[in-house]
Amino acid sequence: MVTQPDTAPSTGPDPPTARVRWIEEAEREPWISILQEVDAEIDPDLSNLPALLGRVPLAIWAAALLQPQTFFPRSHPHLPVMASPHVQLKYNAGHGASLLLRSVDFVRQTATWLGSCGITVATARGMDFGIGWGRLARLWLKYAAPNALLGADAWKPSLDEARGCNLKNPLLHTGAVLAEAPAESLDFAWACSVFTHLDREAFEACLLHLGRSLRPGGALLFSVRPHEFMGRIGKPVPQPDEPFVFHTHPTGPAHFGNTSVSPAWVAAECVRAGLETPCLEWSPRDPYQVLVLTRRPQ
Dist. CA 81–CA 69, nearest whole Å: 9
Cα torsion through 187, 181, 268, 6, rounded to 10: 100
Q: Which CATH number fits domain 85-295: 3.40.50.10490, 3.40.50.150, 3.30.70.2740, 3.40.50.1360?
A: 3.40.50.150
Interacting residues of 245 by C-beta distance below 8 A, sequence separation 6+ = 227, 230, 238, 259, 260, 261
pLDDT given for residue 131 in this prediction: 95
Answer whether residue 111 shows pLDDT above 50.
yes
Most distant CA atoms of the chain, gap in Å: 57
Indicate where the chain has its CATH 3.40.50.150 domain(s): 85-295
- Rounded Cα distance, 256 and 195, in Å: 10
What values do phi and psi take at 171, rounded to 5? Answer: -120, 140
CA Rg value for the chain: 19
User: What is the arithmetic mean of pLDDT over 24-52?
Assistant: 96
* Numbers of helices and strands, H then E, in the chain: 12, 9
One-letter identity of residue 266: V
The whole-number pLDDT of residue 279 equals 96
Q: For helices 200-213 and 263-272, give the axis angle rounded to 10 degrees.
A: 50
Asked if residue 5 has pLDDT above 70, the reply is: no
Residue 15 CB partners (closer than 8 Å, separation 6+): none
pLDDT of 12 > 50? The answer is no
pLDDT tens digits for 217-261? 999 999 999 999 999 999 999 999 999 999 998 776 678 899 999
The answer to whether 226 and 197 are in contact (CB under 8 A) is: no
User: For the whole model, what pTM was predicted?
Assistant: 0.90
Residue 265 near residue 290 (C-beta atoms within 8 A)? no
Give the other-Cβ count within 10 Å of 29's Cβ. 7
Question: What pLDDT does residue 3 have?
Answer: 40
Q: What is the mean pLDDT of the chain?
A: 88
Q: What is the C-alpha to C-alpha distance for residues 283 and 156, in angstroms, rounded to an integer?
A: 28
pLDDT at position 115: 97
- Quick check: 52 pLDDT over 70? yes
What's the pLDDT at 220? 98
> What pLDDT is stored for residue 15 in this prediction?
42
Q: Does the pLDDT at position 200 exceed 90?
A: yes
Task: Give the C-alpha separation, 78 to 33, whole Å.
Answer: 20
Specify whether the CB–CB gap between 263 and 270 falls below 8 A: no
Contact 95, 49 (CB under 8 A): no
